[in-house]
Structure 1
Amino acid sequence: MKIIIIGGDAAGMSAAMQIVRNSSEHQITVLEMGEVYSYGQCGLPYVISNKIDSTDKLIARTQFEFKEKYGIDARILHEVRQVDTRNKQVNGINHANGEKFNLSYDRLLIATGVSPVIPEWDGAQLSGVFTLKTIPDAKQIMESLQGNVKNVTVIGGGYIGLEMAESFVELGKKVTIIERNEQLAKIFDAEMAELIHEEAKNHNIVLRMGESVEAFLGKKHIEYVKTDKGEIETDLVLIAIGVRPNTSFLDKTGIMTSVNGAIQVNAYMQTNIEDIYAAGDCATQYHRIKEKDDHIALGTHANKQGQIAGLNMINIPKTFKGVVGSSIIKFFRLSLGRTGLSEREAKLLNIPYQTVTIKTSDIAGYYPNAKKMTLKLVVHNETHKILGGQIIGEKGIDKRIDVLATALFHSMTTEQLLDLDLAYAPPYNGVWDPLQQAARRIK
């Protein structure tokens, strides 16, 4: 069976490896538009800040390894521009030599990921204006930073914007964040976001909230960012306002898309077209709490969906069980964690809810070096089923978010959360874990 995979990163190569490990009867061809296979995109800000000393450390397996060790026909610079679903063919161009290609398939996996959103702002093509998605992107930013860069402007206050703002500060740059909304990190509720704002200001980041970019000004290199409230002098700009699934080449195929243009898939990663699968950031993910499809572009989901797609493509049935919306990032001293629904989302979904917010310690309060954390739970008002939570603090955030994500996955109530037998010793926890402290206050 001829299997073609479009996309050579997390989802695509997870699928390819599952096929290789579970069958030797299939011919696998992977068409990657870029030059690098299977790399950790989430590590790029830490390479730029010199916490990781080389982009090479982010590469899980090279194109050569996939070819020589696993027998996968892994190609680079191969851009697929058309999928012919009737004749089961993919067409495109090989950017290495400019030649067109046409390949047939028996089963096809679309794992094309996402691309950064860049609005049609005048001056967006000036040198010094960047997005961050790939290793070449990171290398271009690092090269630019070798010049006389003092002032950096980050457009967008989401996860990439925050991580990169931290990286630039650590490199000694003066940083401004422009965010058109009234808060950073919109996936957090407003009162939790205030903690993020405070941390940004503690590191001398200038926050320009409720402000919209209109254009970039300069002769050849960026000099100013023009907004609806004035002009900001800058030497480098990072645009980080969101991502869009790479699915536009499928417009005339009949393949159904859904949230944000992501490909609609079922639990087996199948599209509505027979023998065509999709996985990762370009596909939908079923949200267990919202009880509907969503689009949350994360490497964790991409790897899982890729594995499941690969197995199903060789007739080993396995289903994707869905997501609950868990994420965490480091922002200077703080860890910002969340899972499930925010209060804002619960309200939009017309779910009757109540919330509780507590300030507590990560370990026993009397033990040395206990750190404060702020924890918010969102709970169904009638059933006491846990709907979501947000936690911000210096230590112990990750393990509480993971416990909460597990509780959400299993539709637990606050009463059941109180029944959990969680590890305790003063250097690690209080006798009542912070999650249980919050659960006890639900009425």
Structure 2
Amino acid sequence: MMKVIVVGCTHAGTAAVKGILKNNPDAEVVVYEKNDNISFLSCGIALYVGGVVKDVSGLFYSNPEELASLGAEVHMEHEVENIDTNAKSVNVKSLSTGETETVSYDKLVMTTGSWPIIPPIEGIDSNNILLCKNFNQANDIIAHAKSAQKITVIGAGYIGIELVEAFSSSGKDVTLIDGADRILSKYLDKPFTDVLEDELRQHNVTLALGENVASFQANENGDVTKVATASAEFEADLVIMCVGFKPMTDLLKGQVDMLPNGAIKVNAYMQTSLPDVFAAGDSTVVHYNPNHSDQYIPLATNAVRQGMLIGYNLTEQRLAYRGTQGTSGLHLFGWNIGSTGMTIENARLNQIDAAATTFEDNYRPEFMPTTENVLMTLVYEKGTSRIIGGQLMSKYDITQSANTLSLAIQNHMTVEDLALSDFFFQPNFDRPWNYLNLLAQAAMADIEATE
């Protein structure tokens, strides 16, 4: 019987266990998870903090009992302390009893995930400076936020922005600090972030952009009181660190190929440089289609796809990874925002000769009782017109169109392909030309004007 050890069980691990047992019902699958829960949707933390999600149990979509019922042997609160890929064994410790044992495997699945980056800032060990990743941290944030009034969020990515909205909506005095000069700079170009930054200011959020935290100050009890940047100080009785994530892969350091940040390199079948060691999720690189490179993009969507692929490819190379565009969506102060692929800023940083067309139109005809404006950008490679990115924003929910643009990038479509793509017309839903057709036609006009 083939023995499979799965290390870590959040999104990629849960998907891998289910996939392995579905495709290899005779396999012996042993799971080691150091936490007391699995499958927590950390992307729902801000909704939980903001009271939109009342029952936190809904943020878990699996549990140890479900995996056991499928045939897995699940060991919760067990930490793998060492892996020997030559001997094909792991050393594991029970966190409740302290007992350790060495267990051998035929196949190893590394789904250890990521951990929030903790910068070496003076005073970061002060009380009330919290991280935002797992279930216990979500509960910590909620407990502390009840009594806190001045809350500083550090990091203007998706998690930081969503927490800012949740805190400001509940009447807190919120400051947002980020080293970049714009919010959400990895996902959106300036026309979009300008609108959202105005929205944040209207909701009385203090923005400190282009600022790095220099130090935290605390009182005699060790509780944080101030956050200092190079040019300003902000009073704070609660600080949430949201400056990004790093892969937790020290167990395999020096044993498999990795990126400099520690993300494990895998092939299209989720095999590492050792064919019997698989990896998926936040511990792993993704193949980024817009520029055909290995990148680190920790998203739950990438994790569940990669985990599923391990189930298919454990014993033979059956189903190849299609790569990712880093597609994401956001709902912020009534705005619906979708993003996929590269921003124009990102393309230039990656030395891609790209151009972008920004276009606005109503999503459906003006003769209808209501309609809403859609702000859109299409990013494409000069010369080939290959689509490499796109962003959309509206009070109407246009976010599924980011998925359409994601497919366009994945399938190497050009601006001209999208301009003429077959989309339906029905006045309840859209115009005779869908707004994505119109966006691509505007890009065609821009290209023709420069030729």
User: Which TM-score band (shorter chain)?
Assistant: over 0.9
Residues 25-71 of structure 1 show CA distances to partners (whole Å, capped at 9, x for unaligned) of 1111111111111222211111111111122111112112222x122
- Runs of 4 or more above 6 Å deviation: none
* Residue in 2 that maps onto 1:141: 141
What residue identity is the alignment partner of 1:76? M
Gaps of 5+ in 1: none
* Residue in 2 that maps onto 1:72: 72
* Residue in 1 that maps onto 2:293: 292
* Residue in 2 that maps onto 1:227: 229
* Residue in 2 that maps onto 1:383: 384
Deviation at 1:345, TM superposition (A): 2.3
What residue identity is the alignment partner of 1:262? A
What residue identity is the alignment partner of 1:393? S
Alignment of 1:122-271 (within 5 A): 122-147=122-147, 149-187=148-186, 188-218=188-218, 219-252=221-254, 254-258=255-259, 260-271=261-272
* Residue in 1 that maps onto 2:350: 349
* Residue in 1 that maps onto 2:366: 365
Q: State how far apart, in whole Å, the 2-side matches of 1:389 and 1:48 are.
A: 30
Are 1:289 and 1:324, in contact at CA under 8 Å, matched by a contact in 2? Answer: yes
* Residue in 1 that maps onto 2:98: 98
Q: State how far apart, in whole Å, the 2-side matches of 1:114 and 1:53 are.
A: 26
Q: State how far apart, in whole Å, the 2-side matches of 1:212 and 1:379 are.
A: 32
* Residue in 2 that maps onto 1:23: 24
Residues 106-138 of structure 1 show CA distances to partners (whole Å, capped at 9, x for unaligned) of 100000111000111232222211111101001
* Residue in 2 that maps onto 1:40: 41
SS in 2 for 1:377: strand
Gaps of 5+ in 2: none
Deviation at 1:244, TM superposition (A): 0.3
SS in 2 for 1:435: helix
Deviation at 1:193, TM superposition (A): 1.6
SS in 1 for 2:143: helix
Alignment identity in percent?
Answer: 30
SS in 1 for 2:406: helix
Structure 1, 411-420 or 358-367: larger mean CA deviation: 358-367
Q: What CA RMSD, in Å, does the superposition of the two structures yield over aligned residues?
A: 1.5
Deviation at 1:395, TM superposition (A): 1.6
Are 2:216 and 2:224, in contact at CA under 8 Å, matched by a contact in 1? Answer: yes
SS in 2 for 1:237: strand
Q: State how far apart, in whole Å, the 1-side matches of 2:198 and 2:329 are.
A: 18
* Residue in 2 that maps onto 1:281: 282
Residues 322-379 of structure 1 show CA distances to partners (whole Å, capped at 9, x for unaligned) of 0122111111111222112211222233333222111222222332331222111112
Cα separation, partners in 2 of 1:340 and 1:397, compared to 1, 3 Å: same
Deviation at 1:7, TM superposition (A): 0.8
SS in 2 for 1:308: helix
Deviation at 1:22, TM superposition (A): 2.2
Aligned length: 440
* Residue in 2 that maps onto 1:411: 412
Are 1:365 and 1:430, in contact at CA under 8 Å, matched by a contact in 2? Answer: no
Deviation at 1:259, TM superposition (A): 5.8
* Residue in 1 that maps onto 2:426: 425
Q: State how far apart, in whole Å, the 1-side matches of 2:197 and 2:411 are.
A: 33
* Residue in 1 that maps onto 2:51: 50
Are 1:259 and 1:294, in contact at CA under 8 Å, matched by a contact in 2? Answer: no
Deviation at 1:319, TM superposition (A): 1.1
Are 2:32 and 2:78, in contact at CA under 8 Å, matched by a contact in 1? Answer: yes
What residue identity is the alignment partner of 1:362? Y
Are 1:263 and 1:278, in contact at CA under 8 Å, matched by a contact in 2? Answer: yes
Q: State how far apart, in whole Å, the 2-side matches of 1:230 and 1:350 are.
A: 35
Q: State how far apart, in whole Å, the 1-side matches of 2:261 and 2:378 are.
A: 28
Q: State how far apart, in whole Å, the 2-side matches of 1:44 and 1:120 are.
A: 25
Q: State how far apart, in whole Å, the 2-side matches of 1:396 and 1:159 are.
A: 18
SS in 2 for 1:17: helix
SS in 2 for 1:261: coil
Are 1:7 and 1:113, in contact at CA under 8 Å, matched by a contact in 2? Answer: yes
What residue identity is the alignment partner of 1:190? K
Cα separation, partners in 2 of 1:387 and 1:327, compared to 1, 3 Å: same
Q: State how far apart, in whole Å, the 1-side matches of 2:262 and 2:330 are.
A: 26
Q: State how far apart, in whole Å, the 1-side matches of 2:275 and 2:144 are.
A: 47
What TM-score results when the alignment is normalised by the length of structure 2?
Answer: 0.94
What residue identity is the alignment partner of 2:22? R
Q: State how far apart, in whole Å, the 2-side matches of 1:40 and 1:64 are.
A: 18
What residue identity is the alignment partner of 1:95? L
Structure 1, 308-317 or 372-381: larger mean CA deviation: 308-317
SS in 2 for 1:289: coil
What residue identity is the alignment partner of 2:161? L
SS in 1 for 2:115: strand
Are 1:362 and 1:396, in contact at CA under 8 Å, matched by a contact in 2? Answer: no
